Structure 1
Amino acid sequence: MECIVLMGIQASGKSSFYKECYIDTHLRLNMDMLKTRYRENLLLTAFLEAKQPFVVDNTNPLPEDRIKYIEAAKKYHFTVVGFFFEPDYEASIRRNAQRTGKAFVREIGIQSVLKKLVRPSYSEGFDELHTVVSMNGTFTVKSMD
């Protein structure tokens, strides 16, 4: 059983990474789709109780944003893996410009998350940590060991 926590600014490639690497094996927990914390908590509980592998596909910029997923997953004996998307502000702005409708994020929103983004550490409770660099649709993943 695995809980994967994605971390990074908007338009950094998190959702594309999920679709490329985990769509066939893990369900997705994402505030863009669920809209409310109430719905997110219901689904998180369902995943944990069903022992369903899942990916938390949110920005998760701060340790306090990530801790609820980590603690809940640990309580249910899940392995917790983190993927930190190295921020590339200019590339994210370019990718975001290609988005339409509700998927488009105002630049100030991306700047806000970038300002508070904290690199994760094992002290938060992760069992594995990786960095991800997204370039031209290709992902390079490296262990943070």
Structure 2
Amino acid sequence: MMTVTETGKGNAQIRDAICAHADWKRRLSECIDKGALEKTADEISRNDQCAFGQWLASLSTDPDDPSMEKFEMIKGLHARFHREAGKIAVNVEGGDRSAARELYESPGFRRLTNSLILNLNDWREDFRDILNR
């Protein structure tokens, strides 16, 4: 396992994660409309199935690495995002597009998604600051 600053990829990984999760959320909405998923609900609910989740799992939590201050919070938000998206996907798999849409458009899912993106942006700024020192 490596720390983020050792890999030198923190900024790019987080940028890619922000773009990928925004795109993924759009595709989930399209899947609700179609009534068919690109992956199973089980896969969607697991936070280690996307590239960002795999990258997070590869990191060590070195307490002396300042880029890791937000690591646990980001990891938790990311896991919650996938769990909630998995609940939406279960409804799509079960043919209940209305329930899936209701969960997708719920204030809770919207807040969770926005919180993840905002915190990823903050974490990305931390990496930029470290790299510019």
Q: Which has the larger radius of gyration?
A: 2
Normalised TM-score (structure 1): 0.27
More helix by share: 2
> Larger % of strand: which?
1
